[in-house]
Structure 1
Amino acid sequence: MRTGTLLMWMVLGFFSCKSGAESETQGSENKTIVQEPANLSYQILKVYPHDTSSFTQGLEWFKDQLWEGTGWYMESKLLQTDYTTGKAVKKVKLPDNEFGEGITIFKDKIYQLTWQEHKVYQYNAKTLAVEKTFDWPYEGWGLTHNDTALIISTGGSNIYWVDPANFKIVKTLGVTDNNGYVDSINELEWVDGFLYANKYLTDYILKIDPATGQVIARMNLAGILQQTNQPVSSNTDVLNGIAYRPSTKTFFVTGKRWPAMYEIKLN
C-alpha cells in the first residue's frame, strides 16, 4: 500500500508540474513586448531669429502665418509673428495676473489656455477679439487639434480630447513608452494622424500614436543652440514650441526665451 500510494503521488506531481509549466509558458506568450521608441533624425534647413522676451508656450501655422502663445505673469501674449524677423505683427496681451499657455487655431477660432487660472480664451482669428471664455478643470499646458476636437495636455501623462463647442472632455489618453507612463507632456502638434509633444524639462520631442498613447519615436534636440552658435544666457529656458507648416512640410521649433527658431525636416 505504501508503494502504491507513493507511485500515485509521483504521477500526480508530474502532471501538476507539467500543467504549471504550460500555464507559465502560455502566460509569457500572452505578454506584449513594448518596443523602445525609435530615434527620429532631423536636418536643420534654416535658422531664424526669435524674440528672447517670448516665454514660448504654443506655436502654430495657420493659413501660412505663424502664431505664438507666450507665458509668464504680466508678460503673456498671443502673437502673430513674422518668422523671418522674429517680430510681432499682431498681438493681444493677457491680464497681468494670468499665465498664458498653449494655443491652437480651429475653424477660424484661436484658442489659448492659461496655466493655473482654469480659463481658456476663444478669439476671432481675423479681429483677435475675444468671443468666448471657457472653464477648464485642470492646469493648461499644450494645445492642438485634429479634424473634430481640441487636444490638451496638463503636464502629466494624460492627454484630453475636448469638444470645442462646450469644452467638455470626450476622450482621455494616457501616454506610455517601454518604461511605463510618460509624464510632463507639454506643447502639442497634430501632424498626419500623429501627435508630437515636447516633454517638459528635456530636449525631446515625442511622436505619439493617438490610438494607443504609445510613444513610437522621439527626436533629441540636445545642444541645438550651441551647435548653431546661438547666444545662451541665464534667461534661456527649455525647448518648447512645435509648429508644422503644411506648405513646406517642415517643422518649426523653438524654446522659451530662445534666441532662435529652427526650420527642420525629418529624415
Structure 2
Amino acid sequence: MGSTASAMTRNERNPTMSSSSNSSTLQSTSPARTAPAEIVREYGPFDGAERIHGVTHDGQRVWAATGERLVAFDPASGETTRTLACAADAGTAFDGKHLYQIAEARIDKIDPATGQVLASIPAPGEGRDSGLTWAEGSLWVGQYLDRKIHQIDPATGKILRTIESNRHVTGVTWVDGDLWHGTWEGDESELRRIDPASGGVLERLEMPAGTGVSGLESDGAGLLYCGGGASGKVRAVRRPRRAGT
C-alpha cells in the first residue's frame, strides 16, 4: 500500500492511554458534548450485499464487510473497485498493509491484493465480537452485548487491556489520539468519543432515529465511515473539530 495509508496508521490512529491498569471501567465525568451527526454522503446498497458489518479505510478506498464478501469502493466516486470472497460477518481493520476481518469466532489476516488468508487468531468474544480497528501495533475489538472494547495482540489474540462501556458497542476507530465507538440499541445509535483511560464519554454524535451504526472507521482526516446494517449502506459522517485544532 502507499505511504498515505502507512502514515495514517502510524500517526493519525495514535492511542494515548494510561499503562497503569489493564482494565478501565466507565466513570462519571463532566457532561459529554452532544450534537446531531452530520451525514455528508451515503454509499450503496452494493450489488449482492444485504447487510453492512465492518468498515475500514486503507488510505484510498473504503472497505465494507457484507457477510460473504469484502467490498472496496472509491469514496469520491462511490464506484466499487474490488471485491474479495471471504467470511466477513463483523468488524474490519487495516494495518497499512493487511486487512483484518472478524469471521465468527476468529480474526483473519488477509492479503488485500489476493484475498488470501495469511493467518488467523481467536477473537476474544468467541463469536460475540462486533467492531475492529488497528492502532499502534494492536487490534481493538468491540463486543456488542458485553459492552466492552478489548485491545489485543494481533499475533496471538491475547487480551492486553479492556475498556467498558455503558452501551452496546458496534464499530471502533482511533483517530488523532481519540478513541471513537458506535452504539446501537433499538432505534437509537450514536458515535461516541471516549476517554481511553477511564472509558468516560467525552462527545456524542446522535444518528437519526432508525439509522443504525454497525461498523465505524475514520479516514484519518475529517470523516467517519459508518456501516448501516440491514440498510446495506455506508454513511460518511463529519467528525467535529476539537477546540484548538
TM-score (norm. length: structure 1) = 0.68
Trace 1:24-39 onto structure 2 (pairs within 5 A): 34-39=29-34
Considering fraction of residues, name the structure with more helix.
Answer: 1
- Percent identical pairs in the alignment equals 19
Number of equivalenced pairs: 207
Greater RCO, CA 8 A, separation 6+: 2
2:55 is the counterpart of 1:59: yes
1:134 to partner: Cα distance = 1.6
Trace 1:18-167 onto structure 2 (pairs within 5 A): 34-40=29-35, 42-44=37-39, 46-51=40-45, 53-71=49-67, 76-84=68-76, 86-94=78-86, 100-114=89-103, 117-138=104-125, 139-155=128-144, 156-167=146-157
Q: Distance in 2 between matches of 1:217 and 1:91?
A: 35
Could you list the structure 1 runs, at least 4 aligned residues long, displaced by more than 6 angstroms after superposition.
none
The match for 1:25 is none
1:250 to partner: Cα distance = 2.4
Point out the more displaced range, 102-111 or 130-139: 130-139
Asked whether the 8 Å contact 2:171–2:214 carries over to 1, the reply is yes
Q: Deviations over 1:135-170 (max 9, x none)?
A: 224122110121121000111222111111111111
Asked whether the 8 Å contact 2:142–2:171 carries over to 1, the reply is yes
Q: Deviations over 1:165-217 (max 9, x none)?
A: 11111111222xxxxxx131111111111211111232211111111111111
Structure 2, unmatched stretches of 5+, are 1-26
Secondary structure of 1:57's counterpart equals coil
1:242 to partner: Cα distance = 2.5
1:84 to partner: Cα distance = 4.5
1:251 to partner: Cα distance = 2.4
Q: Deviations over 1:195-246 (max 9, x none)?
A: 11111232211111111111111111115xxxxxxxxxxxx87233333223
Q: Distance in 1 between matches of 2:150 and 2:159?
A: 6
2:205 is the counterpart of 1:209: no
Give the greater-gyration-radius structure (CA).
1
TM-score (norm. length: structure 2) = 0.74
Change (3 A) 1:132 1:49: same
Q: Distance in 2 between matches of 1:126 and 1:119?
A: 21
Change (3 A) 1:262 1:40: same
Q: Deviations over 1:85-120 (max 9, x none)?
A: 54432222335xxx6100001141211112xx3121
Q: Deviations over 1:10-49 (max 9, x none)?
A: xxxxxxxxxxxxxxxxxxxxxx8632322145544x4243
Q: Which amino acid aligns with 1:121?
A: D
Change (3 A) 1:172 1:106: same
Q: Distance in 2 between matches of 1:33 and 1:130?
A: 42
